[in-house]
């Protein structure tokens, strides 16, 4: 079962977090997770993916205009019915990462995606909207990103197997 992690990375931090999420997702049996920049999307893989996790740096308290433009113009992939999730990076605590995630979640809902974050349902660590890493993340934030990937993969298998 395929899971795509689609991101925009301005400095490389969001790319690093996307790779951590893919590592976590790939722990789950029969899951193939692949991270890809919006500049190098594998459309075939994305079309076949049952889940798509979107990541963005936080820019002026929201997700990047590059992700917004990509979502507005990506016409070859139908996102409706896929599981959707989000993550963000920020330069500092209080930089608006959670607001960026909520805005991105709204985009996914408009696309008809089923949105999941694991919230508090899976216990500690709680991941309310999606993980937020400060820059590339400290060790705790990196571990939370891996756990997030694993949880999204488990839910994808549960829903689509």
Average pLDDT over residues 144-154: 98
> Which tens digit of pLDDT belongs to each residue from 84-138?
999 999 999 888 999 999 999 999 999 999 999 998 989 999 999 999 999 999 9
Q: Is 133 left (phi over 0), alpha (psi -120 to 50) or beta?
A: beta
Residues 81 and 114: beta-carbon distance below 8 Å:
yes
Q: Backbone phi, then psi, for 105, in 5-degree steps?
A: -60, -40
Which pLDDT score is estimated for 89?
A: 97
pTM: 0.97
Q: Backbone phi, then psi, for 104, in 5-degree steps?
A: -70, -40
Which pLDDT score is estimated for 95?
A: 86
Residues 104 and 63: beta-carbon distance below 8 Å:
yes
Domain ranges of the chain: 2-160
> Which tens digit of pLDDT belongs to each residue from 11-44?
999 999 999 999 999 999 999 999 999 999 999 9
CATH superfamily of 2-160: Flavodoxin domain (3.40.50.360)
Beta-sheet pairing, 51-59 with 62-63: antiparallel
């Amino acid at each position: 079962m395929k899971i795509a992690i689609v991101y925009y990375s301005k400095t490389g931090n969001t790319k690093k977090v996307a790779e951590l999420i893919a590592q976590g997702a790939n722990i789950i049996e029969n899951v193939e997770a692949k991270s890809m920049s919006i500049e190098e999307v594998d459309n075939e893989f994305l079309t076949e993916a049952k889940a798509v996790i979107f990541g963005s740096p936080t820019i002026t308290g929201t997700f990047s205009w590059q992700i917004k433009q990509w979502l507005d113009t990506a016409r070859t992939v139908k996102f409706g019915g896929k599981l959707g999730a989000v993550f963000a990076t920020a330069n500092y605590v209080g930089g608006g990462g959670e607001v960026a995630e909520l805005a991105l979640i709204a985009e996914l809902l408009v696309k008809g995606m089923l949105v999941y974050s694991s919230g508090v349902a899976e216990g500690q660590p709680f991941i309310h909207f999606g993980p937020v890493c400060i820059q590339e993340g400290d060790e705790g934030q990196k571990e939370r990103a891996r756990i997030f990937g694993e949880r999204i993969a488990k839910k994808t298998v549960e829903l689509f197997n």
